[in-house]
Amino acid sequence: IVTGDSVSMCSEAASSGKPVYIFAPKSMVGDKHRRFHNTLYKGGYAKDLSDFKEEYEEVKTLNESVRIAGIIKERLL
């Protein structure tokens, strides 16, 4: 469980390979953070804490460094 007020913390948690739930009440986060959370939710990297279940169906690991390295290889090599 991570608080939604830090993009870095959410990103690091999503790259851990463990289930991630984000605690982000409207009074705590702004639109920018909420958009980022929604991207993580849609990608299957995290879930809203209000959707907590004992069993987490699937854990997807966020790995942007591999994705970016692939883009660089395509464009530069």
Instruction: Give per-residue pLDDT as tens, 5-14.
Output: 999 999 999 9
Regions of the chain short of the pLDDT cut 70? none
What is the model's pLDDT at position 24? 95
- pLDDT tens column, 36-47: 999 999 999 999
Separation of alpha carbons 66 and 24, rounded Å: 28
pTM, two decimal places = 0.81
Show Cβ contacts of residue 23 under 8 Å, excluding neighbours closer than 6 positions. Answer: 1, 2, 3, 4, 49
| Cβ–Cβ under 8 Å, residues 13 and 20 | yes
For residue 57, the model assigns a pLDDT of: 73
Rounded distance between C-alpha atoms, residue 69 and residue 66, angstroms:
5
Q: How high does pLDDT run on average in the chain?
A: 91
